[in-house]
Chain A
Amino acid sequence: MTEKAARPGMANFSMDDDDEIPIPTPEQRQAAKLGGERLGFKSEPVTVAPAAPKRAVAARDATYTANFHIRTTPEDRVRYDDFAYRHRMKKGQAMTLLLELAEEAEAARRAKGN
């Protein structure tokens, strides 16, 4: 049977010593946890995760820094883009390769002429 006491005041409400709730033992916690889990009250990771530290990424040194506008035929433009794409190289890298091949051809022609 529940025994009702007098209505307490709000601010001066004081509890009896026997109303203190002792800190549960690890065994009590475990038993309550298992019982709760059977009812669906399961442990879960805290959803407020701390922000992951940002990985420091070293700034890359830019190689192809010169801006170069060139007028060419639409066909050559397509060939150039296609070549760079097929070899998965940067446009600047393709330009370097083009010049190297052209200079090699030039040197070969010069040697042949001599």
Chain B
Amino acid sequence: MPVITLLSPKGGVGKTTTALLLATELSAQGAEVILIDADPNFPLSKWAALPGKPDNIEVIEEVDEETIIDTIGDARKRAQYVIVDLEGRASGRVTNALLVSNLALIPMQGSALDSNEAARAFKNVRQVSKHRDKPLKFAAVLAKTQASSRLWPRELKQIIAGMEQAGIPMIGTALADRGAFRALFSFGGTLATMKDKDVGSLATARANASAFTLDVLQILNEKVPA
């Protein structure tokens, strides 16, 4: 079953939020999902300890570079989707996780620093892809953006244009910086179980997460030449 890995050598770009949104959206549709929490701070395990974790999401902690390949291999036998959330740094764990992934997602925000670190991640994805039997699909994710693309800063638009020029695929739906997404880590549960009185613009947040997840599945379903 597909393995989706979130990576970025820079912390705080939205990897864990993206991983959790994907997992909860997929689980809401009835899929069995395993989240592999490979961040030594274990933010997803902390979320799982809060009330409201769906029964069809399992969170596994794995921070060992040598065993992460086996952990992912075991997880993919048991679940319909495996989502790996790596820590925000460049480590050998990242390389090993990429070796057994179907899709690498690299979240980034609209700053030169983010795009530089993301470029390093893309290079590693490409070099890992060369050493696999099958090419590794990858895409950039615009995370923590302004909700309206009309308000996106010029710097972000330049970065997007640069990625298009470089032939780097991008998930069409950006994940905006939303209180509802952040609230998942405070209240636990999912966007589906969250209440309007807890956060604002919940319906918009749900629509955003759902559209993003469909875009990810679209890329996952694309065929790439071997």
Contacts and interface: CB of A to CB of B under 8 A. Distances in A.
Interface string B181-224: 00000000000000000000000000000000110011011111
Given A8-B217, A21-B102, A36 B92 contact: yes
A43 interface: yes
B40 A47 contact: yes
A109 B221 CA distance: 107
A42 B3 CA distance: 22
A28 B131 contact: yes
Given A10-B29, A19-B2, A21-B101, A39 B124 contact: yes
Q: Is the interface of B mostly helix, strand, loop or mixed?
A: mixed
B70 to A, nearest CB: 8
A9 to B, nearest CB: 7
Interface in B1-40: 1-3, 9, 25-26, 29-31, 40
14 contacts: A3-B223, A8-B217, A8-B221, A9-B29, A10-B26, A24-B132, A36-B90, A36-B124, A39-B123, A42-B92, A44-B65, A46-B63, A46-B65, A47-B63
Interface of B: 1-3, 9, 25-26, 29-31, 40, 63-65, 69, 73, 80-81, 90-92, 94-96, 98-102, 120, 123-124, 127-128, 130-134, 213-214, 217-218, 220-225
Given A4-B218, A19-B102, 13 more contacts: A4-B222, A11-B26, A11-B80, A13-B2, A13-B221, A18-B134, A19-B134, A32-B127, A32-B128, A39-B90, A40-B9, A44-B91, A47-B63
